[in-house]
Chains A and B, each alone.
Chain A
C-alpha cells in the first residue's frame, strides 16, 4: 500500500471513446503528478498540480485533459485517443514541489484499440 490509489488498474478503450482515470492520495500531500510510462522509454512527466492548480503541462496533446478538484484527487480525462497512447499511466504525489520523495500509484495500464 503506497498511499496513492489509481483506478482502474486496466482499461481498454476504442479511439472514439471517452474515459477517465482516477487517482486518490491519502498522504496529505499538496502536489500531484501524471506520468506516462511506455515500453523502453523513460517516465514522461505529463502534468503537475500544486494546491489544486496546474503548474506544469509538458506539451501534452489536448486529448488528455487533467482535473484536480481537491488536493487529494486527480483525474485524467481521455478522449479520441490514438493507439500510440497505449501505455502505463502513473499518478504520484509529494508533500511539495521540491520534496525529496514522490509516492507513486500502481498505475493504469491503458490499451487503445
Chain B
C-alpha cells in the first residue's frame, strides 16, 4: 500500500522561510506533486518532481530524493496569503495518485 507522511501544522513569521517535508513509501514511483489548498477552496498545483534535485518556481522550490523517499517544499519570503494547507501527493508505479494529510502553514505578522 501507499504511505505518505507529512507534519500536520507549522507557524512561521511573514518574510521568513519555511520548509515542509514529505516522506513516502509507494509501490513504484512516477512523480511527486505539491498542491496548495486555502480553506474552503480547491487544491491548486504548485510543483512536480520526477527526477532527483531541486525545482525552483519563484518563491517556491521543491526538492526530491527518490532513494530516500523524501521531498520538501521550500517557501521563501513568506506572505500572509501563503497561509494554507500544503498537500504532498505521489504517483505510484500504477499511476495511482496518493495524497498525504497535508501540512497546515499559518503565517503570522
Contact = CB atoms under 8 A, between A and B. Distances in A.
Interface of A: 2, 4, 40-45, 56, 90, 97-98, 100-107, 109
Contacts of B44: 2, 104
A41 B95 contact: no
B47 to A, nearest CB: 10
Contacts, number: 46
A98 B44 CA distance: 17
Contacts of A40: 101
Interface in B36-87: 40-45, 48, 87
20 contacts: A40-B101, A42-B98, A42-B99, A42-B100, A42-B102, A43-B43, A43-B87, A43-B99, A90-B43, A98-B30, A98-B95, A101-B33, A101-B48, A102-B97, A103-B42, A104-B35, A104-B42, A104-B43, A104-B44, A106-B41
Contacts of A107: 42
Interface residues on chain B, size class: 20 to 34
Nearest to A4: B42
Given A43-B99, A100-B48, 12 more contacts: A42-B99, A42-B100, A42-B101, A42-B102, A44-B99, A45-B96, A45-B98, A98-B30, A101-B33, A102-B45, A102-B97, A106-B41
